[in-house]
């Protein structure tokens, strides 16, 4: 299981690296848009194949995200990727705030309830 945890950690770090590359002004716009698509898919809770479908639902994440990162690594200049990889590795060793995560979840929930109320959807709750 530790081996699997290492693989997941490396994919998270590389997805963060792709996100940082997307924000790097030294990269051209086509690659930045491609990087945003990869990072968006990696970080998005919405998948092409929903995760509740046995095996295939998790397989798309296990194949598409690493394949996208691999292709991006082949297209981006190595010095840009290496610079952003160092930043992502440094960020991965920082402590995680569970209180901040809880606060963000509460804020999104309040926003959803407020929007439902504004659009007169509150009778569905």
Q: What is the pLDDT of residue 33?
A: 94
65 Cβ neighbours under 8 A, 6+ residues apart: 11, 15, 38, 41, 42
Averaged pLDDT in 10-residue chunks for the chain of 125 residues: 80 90 92 91 76 76 88 94 93 80 89 85 61
pLDDT for res 121: 66
- Nearest alpha carbon to residue 70 among 24, 15, 2: 15
Structure tokens at 7: 């693989």
The set of residues, in sequence order, having a beta carbon less than 8 Å from that of 122 and lying 6+ positions away, is 113, 116
State the helix-helix crossing angle for 2-22 and 78-92, rounded to 10 degrees.
120
């Amino acid at each position: 299981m530790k081996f699997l945890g290492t693989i997941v950690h490396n994919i998270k770090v590389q997805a963060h690296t792709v996100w940082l590359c997307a924000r790097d002004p030294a990269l051209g716009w086509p690659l930045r848009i491609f990087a945003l698509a990869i990072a968006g898919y990696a970080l998005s809770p919405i998948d092409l194949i929903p995760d509740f479908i046995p095996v295939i639902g998790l397989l798309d994440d296990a194949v598409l995200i690493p394949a996208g990162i691999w292709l991006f690594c082949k297209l981006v200049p190595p010095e840009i990727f290496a610079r952003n990889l160092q930043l992502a590795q440094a960020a991965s060793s920082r402590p995680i705030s569970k209180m901040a995560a809880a606060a963000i979840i509460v804020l999104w929930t309040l926003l959803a309830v407020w929007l439902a109320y504004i659009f007169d959807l509150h009778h569905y709750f």
